[in-house]
Amino acid sequence: MKLRPSAAWLLAVTILAAAIVLARPGASYSHQDRAEPLAAASTLHPAGTDALGRDRLTRVAAALLLSLVGATAAAAVTTLAAAGVGTLAAFAPASIGWPAMLLCDVFLALPWMFLLLMVRSALPLTTSPANSAAITFLVLAALGWPACARAVYRGALSLKRSAWMLHAHAAGLRGRQIVRYVLPNLIPLLLPQFLICVPTFVIAEANLGALGLGIGEPLPSWGGMLLELDNSAMLLQTRWVYFPVALLIAVLLLLEAVAVEA
Amino acid sequence: MRNSIRLCAFALAILAAAPAKTCLAQAAPRMPGELAWTIGYDPKTFDPAIVDDQESEQVRYLTAGVLLRFNRLTQKVEPELAETWSVSANGRTLTFRLRLGLQFSDGSSLTARDAAWSIRRVLLPSTHAPVAEEFVSPGEVTVETPDARTVIVHLPKRVVGIGKVFDEIAIEPAGRPSQGRITSGPFFVSDYHRSLYVRLRRNPHFYARDAAGVELPYASGVRLDVLENPEQEIRLFLRGAYDVIDDLPPDYFELLRRKDPSTVRDLGPSLNTEQMWFNQAPDAPIPAWEKAWFRNRAFRIAVSQAVHRADLARIAYEGHATPAYSFISPANSIWYNRSLSAPHTDVAAAKAELAAAGFHLSGSVLEDAAGHTVKFSILTNAGNAARLKMATLIQQDLAALGMQVTVVTMDFPALVERLMHTQDYEACLLGLENVDPDPNTMMNIWLSSSPNHQWDPSEKEPATAWEAEIDRLMNEQAGALMSSERKQAVDRVQQIVADQQPFIYLVYPNVLVAVSPRLQGVQPAVLEPALTWNVEDLRLREAR
Amino acid sequence: MTAGAAVLQWLGRTIAIVLLVMAGSTVLVRFAPGYLSDAREMDARYADAAHAELSQEAARSRSLPHMLSAEISGWARGDAGISREYGVPVSALILPRLAVTGGLLLRSILLAWTLALSASLLTTAGRNPSPFWQTPATLLLAIPTAAMATLCLLANSGGPVLVMALLLAARDFKFLHRALRTAWLDPHVLQARAQGLRARQVLRAHVLPAIAPQLAALASLSIMTALSAIVPVEVIFDVPGLGQLAWNAALNRDLPVLLAVTMIMALAVVIGGMTPDRPPEWKSV
């Protein structure tokens, strides 16, 4: 498809633009212009300011780089983990597959919020915002895989029983060789999972802020900016609160276009 | 393809029907003449004697008949079921004379026997009534009833502001506690659906009449909907489903003001304070040098001077707060110390103060005399937008001194565990709610032996000379006979606190309320319940 | 394997999961910070009552086996224990809410599936479907659930079912669209189309059976997503359901209530994973 290279270019341009916005002289994502909280767009603040008078454009740019990298990496890890566990459980003997899927189900039903609280209490309170961000995305990746692993397991199971697999076995292909053909067939299941995980993790990171995890102030968090949308008082004050979500949608669409392999 | 078109049409039909379904769930239709507002969660109990949470307290306020009522507007104690009352010269004997012909909501008569039984019940240790503590040694209090209309209470020791305590003691039928179903107050509990609503019905036998002789309360009942989300509450209020909102967050206040400016009122500073403090507990699991900073008066003064309180009020509260320098709010006109001298915003002075105490800048980073980087965290509770904004503003204010501050939010139980049990924190930003203007109710914060002595809750004896002086002054005001002596002692405590800054007071949030234009008789007060304290006088204007 | 053995195996698995979830949740909640503290400790008026309750709870929760046996005996009694927050049997809290949440989940999942299936059928057919069909789904995924609910409130239309359904439909659409597209481009389907088979017949005979196993996977995924979205939706729309109860129980460390809710969740997970691999009606066309 012709769309794919142009989407890749656009994505690169967006990231570059964000880097330029951040690197431009005088740009600070944390400086509070206290005379102008929630200001409208001006030459000084092209996208206005947030509730504390910080430049919205710079914050969005920084959040784009930070959250996008974090969420994409976490989504990739969790999708790969799900693929690994799911295919292993499907193709391994039942003595491994059965407990693996049982564990998966147990994992899905446990109240993880309390584990996150424990993680927070194990970290020192003065953990820097950047470290806290890294830990948060790591935790998200570690907790995100079971739901997808189950879907992969089912997909892999039906592949295992499919006609071409029978052919492959009959033709004398060994287990390791077969796996090589299985993974590409799981992509229709894995790719959407990956694409869904990216925005979910961006938002989940912000929700973890309530537990003392997440990206701490003054570092900007994309999820935090999205959460501004759930306060109707804020929505009526400035239209610029919609800017981060619009940009997120654009980036996700581009990601999607890049990820299209058909 | 036709399949999918049919599916699509079906889906669209459901979608079209979905908005028509009420997204704004409302618990029950309003009965004629019924008032309605919200409570944040299910009341834990309807037994007026063991109330220990805010929403239960609200139900008690609306249903309980009490001997004396503390008028929230005039801040004076007034007789309610008692026609008259008196305190003996030594302050140890209280005599109440009941009104003639009092009845409970079920029509049975209310006599001194019922009043004495109710008072004795809250004093019994087995009842676990929180109010019992106000009598200092409840076990030694005796109650007698010389005749059917007189109740005499003997105290072992004089208690400051004893009249107000009777505002919290509901008079119930002797031997028949009823969980608010039979009351002597303006309303009684008629209906409770867990997680939906509490419905109160008018007590037809309530004693009070208005000037024209009309029986009070005017309203036929009150419905309290259990509703947590302010968004929903505001929407339902705008539709006329609720008559009042107290305790509006500043951003929603502005939202409502934009939609209908006639409904909202800013009543000015409340009695509540928002403050920040450093952990001074000697056993706290934080490095020794940090404890040394936090116990250093110059360090605390410098932090206090660096904080731009006017910015906090203007930005974090959208102007609906007042900069604070003391634990007593200017709204508390009797006890506020007008001649207080407290450290005001002055960054240069703060830097000088730090330099004099041995702190120095290394690059842009502040270090103490031993070379430790000044770096700490401010803890606050999650879900309070104004507090998070204040903490972030303070973060930048302190960066101007070279201090590196991280802001951490936590859910309340986890936060309280750190504050009260493990003491594993450096600084904390929280608020304190004051329901009573009398500083005597703040004893458990200022006495060094109290567990609510936040900066060092574990201490048994005062650790410093100034804490010892506060202890002495607080005990002095509690036992003083003359109100001028009390005032003097409390003024001095305010000055010591301003000099030492164990709590760095930030703002007094304003009381922000909304009142439906249909509701008549509202006289907003700063004290809780701000809008419904005179509930018997409230009524809805007749429908047009 | 006979039907009886299969049922036995399923039962054994379910019981194992429920017990493991019970033990795991108890450990997580008990050792999370704040189990033995209470916001009321900070309020001078209520501090004493809070301390009394906490010391009772501390005595009760001293040993894990003791806690677990207390929980199990609560379940054996039939009331699932006594709520720490409200002091009433957990069953009295849960039962009225179960119907509310169940209805909400069922209606939103049905609506979501109808939406997602019809949308993906519409968008995958044709030679070269436009990628812009993805936009609505991506848009719905990028907005936090809470924000979507607030926007509904602001617009005075739509309710919890709509928000849940849109969210689920967006996710399901992503999967279905891709699965359908892959099936649509299969060589034998291409040939069938080239030979002039009508689209409806192609769908019925070839495309739907090809994606059927993934539909089962999708079902369990939808339930998972719905369970995680139910909390913000119920909290914001103030629906008196299990999500709202679970949220309050988590904030108050109300272990008996949390356990009951997680066990219901575990059952939902097990049942969600139980859907048949291949719906029988698609076998013969």
**Segment A124-161, tens digit of pLDDT:** 888 888 888 899 899 889 888 887 787 788 778 877 77
A232/C154 CB distance under 8 A: yes
Helix H, strand E, coil C: the string for B103-155 is: ECCCCCECCHHHHHHHHHHHHCHHHCCHHHHHHCCHHHCEEEEEECCEEEEEC
Q: Which two tokens stand for residue C83?
A: 């709520």
Report pLDDT for B87.
Answer: 93
Q: Is the pLDDT of residue C277 over 60?
A: no
pLDDT beyond 80 at B440: yes
Name the β-bridge partners of B79. Answer: B68
d(CA B426, CA B449): 21
A-proximal residues of C, 212-231, CB under 8 Å: 213-214, 216-218, 220-221, 224-225
Distance from CA of B441 to the nearest CA of A (A): 32
Query: Do the Cβ atoms of C277 and A229 come within 8 Å?
Result: no
Q: Is residue A253, in this structure, part of any structural domain at all? A: yes
Q: In terms of residue numbers, what domain contains A166?
A: 5-15+54-261
Cβ of C86 within 8 Å of Cβ of B19? The answer is no
What confidence score (pLDDT) does residue A182 get? Answer: 77
Characterize the bridge pairing of strands B404-410 and B264-269. Answer: unpaired
Q: Tens digits of per-residue pLDDT, B228-265?
A: 888 889 888 988 899 999 889 998 999 999 988 999 99
In chain B, which segments carry CATH 3.10.105.10? 273-510
Assess whether the previous peptide bond of A218 is cis (omega < 30° from 0): yes
CATH number of C100-282: 1.10.3720.10
A37 within domain boundaries: no
Average pLDDT for residues A12-19, to the nearest whole number?
Answer: 92
Q: Are C170 and C225 in contact (CB under 8 A)?
A: no
Domain for residue A40, yes or no? no
* Alpha-carbon distances, residue C183 vs A262, B6, B14 (angstroms): 12, 22, 29
* Domains in chain C: boundaries: 22-76, 100-282
CA atoms of B41 and B58, how far apart (whole Å): 11
Q: What's the structural domain count of chain A?
A: 1
Q: With beta carbons less than 8 A apart as the criterion, state whether B14 and C111 touch.
A: yes
Residue C176 pLDDT > 70, yes or no?
yes
Distances (CA, A) of A139 to A71, A77, A214, B395, B432: 11, 11, 10, 27, 35
**Min distance B264 CA to chain C CA atoms (Å):** 19
Asked which of A34-48, B386-400, C114-128 is least confident by mean pLDDT, the reply is C114-128
Instruction: Say if C193 is an interface residue toward chain A (CB within 8 Å).
Output: no
Q: What whole-number distance in Å separates Cα of residue B517 and Cα of residue B194?
A: 30
What is the arithmetic mean of pLDDT over A181-206?
82
Task: Point out which residues pair with B187 in neighbouring strands.
Answer: B202
Cα B321 to Cα B510: distance, rounded to the nearest angstrom = 5
> What pLDDT shows up at residue C282?
38
- Residues A166 and C45: their CA atoms lie apart, in Å, by 73
Single-letter amino acid code for the residue at B448: S
Cβ-contact B537, B518 below 8 angstroms: no
Question: If contacts are CB pairs under 8 Å, which of residues 103-142 in chain A contact chain B?
Answer: 117, 120-121, 125-129
| Residues of each domain in chain B carrying CATH 3.40.190.10 | 34-243+516-540
Are A104 and A145 spatial neighbours (Cβ–Cβ below 8 Å)?
Answer: no
For B452, which DSSP code? Answer: T
Average pLDDT over residues B456-473: 90
Q: What is the mean pLDDT of residues B28-52?
A: 90
Could you report the per-residue pLDDT of A90-131, keeping only the tens digit for each?
Answer: 888 878 888 888 888 888 888 888 888 888 888 888 888 888
CATH for B34-243+516-540 (2.30.30.90, 3.40.50.10860, 3.40.190.10, 3.30.360.10): 3.40.190.10
In this predicted structure, what is the pLDDT of residue C201? 81
- Is the per-residue pLDDT at B183 higher than 60? yes
- Mean pLDDT, chain A, rounded, equals 84
Tell me the one-letter amino acid at B14. Answer: I
- Fold adopted by B273-510: Dipeptide-binding Protein; domain 3 (3.10.105)
**Position of tokens 């104004």?**
B386
Structure ipTM: 0.87
- So what's the pLDDT on residue C210? 76
User: C-alpha dihedral over B93, B99, B101, B107, to 10 degrees?
Assistant: -80
pTM, full prediction: 0.89
Residues of A in Cβ contact (< 8 Å) with B252? 233
Q: Which residues on chain A are in Cβ contact (under 8 Å) with C144?
A: 203, 206, 223, 226-227, 229-230
* Position A260 confidence tier, pLDDT thresholds 50, 70, 90: low
In a domain, A25, yes or no: no
Residue B83 is predicted with a pLDDT of 95
We report the CATH number of the domain holding residue A119 as 1.10.3720.10
Q: What is the 3-state secondary structure (H, E, C) of chain A?
A: CCHHHHHHHHHHHHHHHHHHHHHCCCCCCCCCCCCCCCCCCCCCCCCCECCCCCEHHHHHHHHHHHHHHHHHHHHHHHHHHHHHHHHHHHHCCHHHHHHHHHHHHHHHHCCCHHHHHHHHHHCCCCCCHHHHHHHHHHHHHHHHHHHHHHHHHHHHHHHHCCHHHHHHHHCCCCHHHHHHHHHHHHHHHHHHHHHHHHHHHHHHHHHHHHHCCCCCCCCCCHHHHHHHHHCHHHHHHCHHHHHHHHHHHHHHHHHHHHHCCC
pLDDT digit string (tens) for B510-544? Answer: 999 999 999 999 999 998 899 999 999 999 987 54
Question: Mean pLDDT lowest for which of A179-193, B202-216, B318-332?
Answer: A179-193
Q: Would you say C204 and A221 are in contact if contact means Cβ atoms under 8 Å apart?
A: no
Residue in A118, A125, A211 to test binding to B, most B beta-carbons within 10 Å: A125
CA atoms within 13 A on the CB side of B498: 20
